[in-house]
Amino acid sequence: MSQATVTRRYRFCAAHRLHTDQLSSEENWATFGKCNNPNGHGHNYVVFVSVGGDMDPITHQVVDIAKLDEVVQRIVVRRFDHQDLNNDPEFATQTTTGENLVLLIWELLVDHVPGGRLVKVGVIETRDNYFEYSGSSKQVRTGDGVRHG
Ligand code: NI
């Protein structure tokens, strides 16, 4: 059976501020620069969701794109669009870096793709910043759904 990967693009607009309570004000500024501005700032985030797997023998699709869109809109876009990422519960103790955001989107989606399997999530934050995550090779899904690694 042929395999392929399909990637869909999604968008949301959100505010954030790069800051960690584990550093002093001076250290935060030195680390994050203008992204540490207390007023925050916004980005037009672009999210790429890649699903891979066997092509259906009849439809020749890896995943039903309309179903994928419904899942990503419900789980990711509606959660973050026009929100302040720093107020999201998952970021209560995590800095809202692109790295943490792409990992969070992966975790939110990995068990919910409607066919195939999630193979990569990409996040464009700015013209020149792109983050991606393909899962950890240490994370092995077992029959009881528990991950070890
Ligand atoms: Ni930013």
Q: Which residue has the higher pLDDT, 1 or 35?
A: 35
Amino acid 48: pLDDT: 98
Catalytic center residues: 35, 82, 125
Amino acid 146: pLDDT: 43
From residue 122, alpha-carbon distances to 26, 29, 34, 48, 65 in Å are 31, 27, 24, 5, 17
How far apart (Å, rounded) are the C-alpha atoms in residues 58 and 105?
Answer: 31
State phi, psi for 48 to the nearest 5 degrees: -105, 125
Model confidence at 141: pLDDT above 80: no
CA 14 to chain centre: 13
Ligand 1 centroid–CA 27 distance in Å is 17
Ligand 1 centroid–CA 44 distance in Å is 10
Model confidence at 37: pLDDT above 60: yes
pLDDT category of residue 1 using cuts at 50, 70 and 90: confident
Average pLDDT over residues 106-132: 97
Amino acid 102: pLDDT: 98
Ligand 1 centroid–CA 66 distance in Å is 30
Digit-coded pLDDT (tens) for 66-97: 999 999 999 999 999 999 999 999 999 999 99
Model confidence at 143: pLDDT above 50: no
Model confidence at 49: pLDDT above 90: yes
How far apart (Å, rounded) are the C-alpha atoms in residues 74 and 145?
Answer: 23
Amino acid 136: pLDDT: 83
Amino acid 137: pLDDT: 64
Q: Residue 93: CB partners within 8 Å, gap ≥ 6?
A: none
* Short-list 26, 2, 42, 16, CA closest to 100: 16
Ligand 1 centroid–CA 26 distance in Å is 18
Classify residue 129 as exposed, middle or buried by CB count within 10 Å of its CB (0-12, 13-18, 19+).
Answer: exposed
Model confidence at 140: pLDDT above 60: no
Ligand 1 centroid–CA 124 distance in Å is 11
* Short-list 72, 67, 64, CA closest to 11: 72
pTM of the shown model: 0.90
Q: Write down the architecture of domain 3-148 according to CATH.
A: 2-Layer Sandwich (3.30)
